[in-house]
Structure 1
Amino acid sequence: MTEVPKFEIIETLLPSAKRENPEFVNVMVFQTEYSLETDYKKINDLYYHRNMDKIKYVLLEALAIAKKDNVHLLVFPELSIPEELIPLLQNWSKCNHELVIVAGSHYHCENEDKIPISRCPVIHNGDVYYTHKIVPADDELSINLGYGLKEGSQILKFSNSPVGKFVVLICSDNLENSVRVRATNWNFDFLVVIAAQKKSEDHWMPISQFVNEGTDPKYVIYANNKISLKHPKSKRNSVIITDGRSSFFGVTSPQKKDQLVDRGNTNFKPKGKLVEITGKDNYYFLKANIKNKNPSGKPTVALRGNTMNIDQVVCLEAKIDNLVALELSGTRLMYQNALEQIEKIELDPSNYGSFLYPDLIKTVQFYLDKYSVLILIGPIQVGKTTMLNIICHSLSEKIHFVPIIDSSVFSLRRKKIDKIDSLFFLWYSEIVDYVLALQNKHRVELSPNDKSRIAEQEIFLDWLGENRFVGETNLQAFLRTIELFKESVGYRSGLYLGIRLDEVQKYVSEAVFTEFNEFLSTLNSTTLQSFTTKLIIASRYFPGMNFKRNSLIYVPHFETEVVKNLTALFSFEMEQEIQDEFIELIIEKTDGYPWFVMRFLKIYLRHRIQDNFTNPIELSHQIYNQGSFWVSDSFFLSESHSHFVNELTSLLKTSDKVSKDEFKRFIRPNSSHTELNNGWSVSKDYLVKQSGFFKINLDSGQFENNGCFLLSTHFKDLALNHE
């Protein structure tokens, strides 16, 4: 007897906010049907998929059905989904958070190993978890050195998931008693067996025994691939390689058993087989009660019959008209999910920091470890607030982040703050309350000195002056007062203060705003004491030259890799060559400007959802050249101007004549950009630097037209003609 290889059983959590501890689970098994000669290729004595277009179509249709029927657990058979298509399922699951996909299996070489293992991806909420095949089947072993399959090393058991507790076994592992016993020796709801088996009866017998002889009722999902080979001596008949016959096993009441037999869902042979896919059916859908798997109680399974004919779903050669309609339906749903994901990234980017700005947090942490003030600089709609939110979210586990008051707090005030001292006093009071809340304390518990400093502005200002050292500004003194207050109440953790300068401008007078900017322009970060209280400022306004190299992050445009990640959400529609050209075109036309990149993707996907299936490159050019897409929100069913137009118009209105003239000179084709670079703090250059019509070289300190096709084509006239 061959010794079973050593392997680990690893507990894995799939937490779900909406379906924690569920009672019912909607289960769907989608049984694929393939031809060995046309859909697979043999490499090193193992079979790999070759017909990617057909498989994409199968997946799209399965996902469309799963979406329509609100499926919670979707299972595909062994060797039904190639590794190359796992990202497609990942992207789908990001928009369908309660769906768990057991995505068949594929062969995979780990590290530098040339002999693959077989692994099953379990996908949930965009994450992939791999459980292995421990014992290769006889057909997967090879007498040729370096060929065939090697043993896996781990089986995952899933708990705390939207579908209860389950474990997946890949084909021969279910037939190996010692592996099955170890993997199922715990209190679970579903055993999922995925297979590519010639005779399903070989699996049914141990499954039936497992279901009916145990003291604790279980459900077993059996998903078997259906693969045929053209008969060498017959034009009509095929040789069955694997027989399909995917099934569902469990215990149910005698009445429900009779109903299932009468409806043709099962012959109940062997005992406990409640469902079997037969004939031309290709999937089953059922609702399983995982709280009551005991036959003495209410029926545990409610079944809806198989309704989809295999010719309409899998066989691309048959009923072409129906196939086109079905493919469009499934594809449209994929585009809708991609659009939802893009919109989610826009609305709440906090969870996508590594996705949008891969090196951001590492860079931020480097600066904040050395300096007390960090400035995120960039023009309108480039992503300053997005970056600030990502920093807040990413660092929240290590340090408390305080978003300093935005303009909404002051919406009911009749007049703006007209003194810089009042601004610091206001911020100090808010931060004090925040720190007290972190400690579950109240103002009444403060010392007399601390109470007086938040009650009387003059007392606070005297204290602020006492803590301003020679050569420092009130901003540095302000940070020192926060440090002293934290010390007085015993709060020793770090504190990051986030300021959006665009928001501050809305609730302070012009004089106060100018004075605060002067503080920034004269700060020298190398002389700042390394406080545990740090200040992160998101600003369109450029600080002094002192900050240029050592405490400034210029908000970057999206690089090619980021655009590639975003377009991967719907890359199923393109061949690799077209996808590469598509990404290059986005970079060329938008220069990676985040607002324009995201805007383009939303417009493109809406066209696809509306069944505009023009060639991707041709459709892209149509979008870039149509000005209304960029200046108006009419395409998004709104009569207002686009947000970029509103921001640019507001910027132009509030700028003085000198700044406007400088800006118009800058964006004219024959202007000399270098002569306009008069330093970072020259006021007449502010409009140039805030508008988005420039690109910066931090090494040289020079600003140039950013080369964005959309800016120069659709917004230059607006800027030049604005009075």
Structure 2
Amino acid sequence: MRKRILLVEDDGMWAEHISSILHKWFNLHLEVYTSFTDAENRLLDPSSKFDLLITDLYPSDMSREAKGLKFVEFCKKMHKVPVVVVTGESHMVKSILREKEIDVFDKAEFEQLDFVSIVDRLLKYERIHDDLGEAAVDRRKFIVERISLGKVDDRRFVRILVVQAESSSDYWSMNDGLMSYTRVDDLRLWIWKSLDFALRHEINVIVFPELSVPVALLEDLGAWSQINKDVIVIAGSHYAQAGKAWIARSPVFLGGRQILTDKIFPSPSELSSIDGFGLSAGERIIYFTETGIGSFFVLICSDNLKPAPIRNQILSYQPDFVFSLAFQRDSNDFFVGISDSVNNGEDVYFVYANNHVKGMADGRSAFFGIVRPEVRDELINNQKTDFVPKGKLCELRGEENVLIVEADIRNKNPPAKRKVGDLPNVKIFTGRVGD
């Protein structure tokens, strides 16, 4: 369904510029007004419903600027419409707007990619917020348990392998209202190929997506981990029975040791009205520290959607990595919240591992972080990313099913200006298992 955006801008050139950007990047219905009065009248029409307002404040006239502020307040309070302000030089007013958590762009320093990223985030946020429901999110309880492996985190560069699981929807079945993959032997072969690929490329962490590693294969992974103690394996997730209930867990193998971290928020498709069917909430998320590659969390699917108190809480621990495992039809739903976290001053890398199942999960496994502008431009020019939303440094496309990232954990947020001798904090390779 097309999004509806209302644009208020009295400068014809800027109205045309913003309109062309929006039509280039989004499938939308756009209405443009040159005065606040006309825009207010349109919003007061009971038949009008907009997903986003983009407005100038008319900074050439202070009285009109004050009216612009009132117009923004009117939209936020009366219509609960998210607002983006694109305005000229007025540092005082921009400070006021930022205090109200409104996104502001200065016309003198307008960055198209940043603007597109913010619009994308706001449009996606409204839909996700409505789908999840506030009450269920606010009341969920969980604990964070810290587990230290006692290893010195002296490695500067960490090599991460994301293996995107590929399968046919024909081979998925339902058990007590929960999905499972029926061809375990196929998965066993794919996992062993992936582990061999990891050794050949000197990987430190290998990441499998949600539901891609059945319980029947965990013993094999544990034995492999016992031999290859320096490689951490995040073994997707599986459903486990706890009494009459089912919970979802991700096994993490470190030196042969298996540690389980829970999924707190079941997705709507995992819930059931029948006792003993569907998924129940987990209770415990593990914070892994002194692992030899820094500190990290593993989040399973809907635990990483916005709005979610989980992501905000775990980021307060300042991990080096957050690994997000998914079985997701539309990866954009995840990219919104991840982009927010990476670009709001959090010193962290996000790794997103999704399945690729036609009609069920769209793949698009990705890596998020902060890089210098010239590194960002190089990644865009080499078609590793479109950088939408902001911070997405790579995304698997087409036939690609593996993503290797070499990430500098001592330099997760490099200064924008490069100094002599500075190295890129991220290096990226994409391809296929077996190539």
TM-score calculated relative to the size of structure 1: 0.40
Deviations 1:68-94 (CA, angstroms, capped at 9, x unpaired) = 011001111111111111111111111
Q: Which residue of 1 aligns with 2:57?
A: none
Q: Which residue of 1 aligns with 2:8?
A: none
Q: Say if 2:156 is the partner of 1:23.
A: yes
Q: Which residue of 2 aligns with 1:193?
A: 324
Q: Which residue of 1 aligns with 2:189?
A: 57
Q: How does 1:346-361 map to 2 (within 5 A)?
A: none
Measure, in 2, the Cα distance between the counterparts of 1:304 and 1:218.
17
Q: Say if 2:146 is the partner of 1:14.
A: no
The Cα shift of 1:153 comes to 0.7
Q: Which residue of 1 aligns with 2:349?
A: 219
Measure, in 1, the Cα distance between the counterparts of 2:153 and 2:299.
24
Q: What is the aligned counterpart of 1:271 among 355, 367, 390?
A: 390
The Cα shift of 1:130 comes to 0.4
Measure, in 1, the Cα distance between the counterparts of 2:176 and 2:431.
39
Deviations 1:184-233 (CA, angstroms, capped at 9, x unpaired) = 2112100111111111000001100110112x4210001111122xxxxx
Deviations 1:608-641 (CA, angstroms, capped at 9, x unpaired) = xxxxxxxxxxxxxxxxxxxxxxxxxxxxxxxxxx
Of Structure 1 and Structure 2, the greater strand share is in 2
Q: How does 1:68-147 map to 2 (within 5 A)?
A: 68-110=200-242, 113-147=243-277
Q: Which residue of 1 aligns with 2:33?
A: none
Alignment: residue pair count: 294
Q: Which residue of 1 aligns with 2:139?
A: 4
Q: Say if 2:371 is the partner of 1:252.
A: yes
The Cα shift of 1:255 comes to 1.3
Measure, in 1, the Cα distance between the counterparts of 2:314 and 2:247.
18
Instruction: Tell me which structure has the larger Cα radius of gyration.
Output: 1
- The DSSP-based 3-state class of the residue aligned with 1:287 is strand
Deviations 1:129-183 (CA, angstroms, capped at 9, x unpaired) = 0000001000000122221000001000010002211011111111142121122
The Cα shift of 1:257 comes to 1.0
CA contact (8 A) 1:292 1:300 kept: no
Q: Which residue of 1 aligns with 2:199?
A: 67
- The DSSP-based 3-state class of the residue aligned with 1:306 is strand
Q: How does 1:581-596 map to 2 (within 5 A)?
A: none
Q: Say which structure, 1 or 2, has more relative contact order (CA 8 Å, 6+ apart).
A: 2
Measure, in 1, the Cα distance between the counterparts of 2:362 and 2:425.
25
Letter in 1 for 2:208: F
CA contact (8 A) 2:246 2:276 kept: no
Q: What is the aligned counterpart of 2:166 among 33, 40, 48?
A: 33
CA contact (8 A) 1:211 1:218 kept: yes
Q: What is the aligned counterpart of 1:204 among 301, 315, 335?
A: 335
CA contact (8 A) 1:294 1:300 kept: no
Measure, in 2, the Cα distance between the counterparts of 1:153 and 1:307.
37
**C-alpha distance 5-304 of structure 1, shift in aligned 2 (>3 A):** closer
Measure, in 2, the Cα distance between the counterparts of 1:138 and 1:158.
28
- The DSSP-based 3-state class of the residue aligned with 1:286 is strand
Q: Which residue of 2 aligns with 1:182?
A: 313
Unpaired stretches in structure 2, ≥5 consecutive residues: 1-134
Of Structure 1 and Structure 2, the greater helix share is in 1
**C-alpha distance 163-262 of structure 1, shift in aligned 2 (>3 A):** same
Measure, in 2, the Cα distance between the counterparts of 1:61 and 1:212.
35
Q: Which residue of 1 aligns with 2:430?
A: 306
Q: What is the aligned counterpart of 1:292 among 411, 414, 421?
A: 411
The Cα shift of 1:126 comes to 0.6
Measure, in 1, the Cα distance between the counterparts of 2:193 and 2:153.
28
Measure, in 2, the Cα distance between the counterparts of 1:300 and 1:14.
29
**C-alpha distance 226-307 of structure 1, shift in aligned 2 (>3 A):** closer
Q: Which residue of 2 aligns with 1:149?
A: 279
CA contact (8 A) 1:256 1:299 kept: no
CA contact (8 A) 1:21 1:160 kept: no
Measure, in 2, the Cα distance between the counterparts of 1:172 and 1:138.
9
The Cα shift of 1:299 comes to 4.7
The Cα shift of 1:303 comes to 2.4
Aligned-residue identity in percent = 35
Measure, in 2, the Cα distance between the counterparts of 1:65 and 1:208.
29
- The DSSP-based 3-state class of the residue aligned with 2:400 is coil
Q: What is the aligned counterpart of 1:171 among 290, 301, 305?
A: 301
CA contact (8 A) 2:371 2:426 kept: no
- The DSSP-based 3-state class of the residue aligned with 1:121 is strand
TM-score calculated relative to the size of structure 2: 0.65
CA contact (8 A) 2:304 2:310 kept: yes
**C-alpha distance 299-197 of structure 1, shift in aligned 2 (>3 A):** farther
Deviations 1:290-338 (CA, angstroms, capped at 9, x unpaired) = 00112216455342432327xx68xxxxxxxxxxxxxxxxxxxxxxxxx
Q: How does 1:675-690 map to 2 (within 5 A)?
A: none
Measure, in 1, the Cα distance between the counterparts of 2:264 and 2:423.
35
The Cα shift of 1:48 comes to 1.5
Letter in 2 for 1:14: L
Q: Which residue of 2 aligns with 1:331?
A: none
Measure, in 1, the Cα distance between the counterparts of 2:304 and 2:259.
20
Letter in 2 for 1:305: F
Letter in 1 for 2:267: A
Measure, in 2, the Cα distance between the counterparts of 1:308 and 1:27.
15
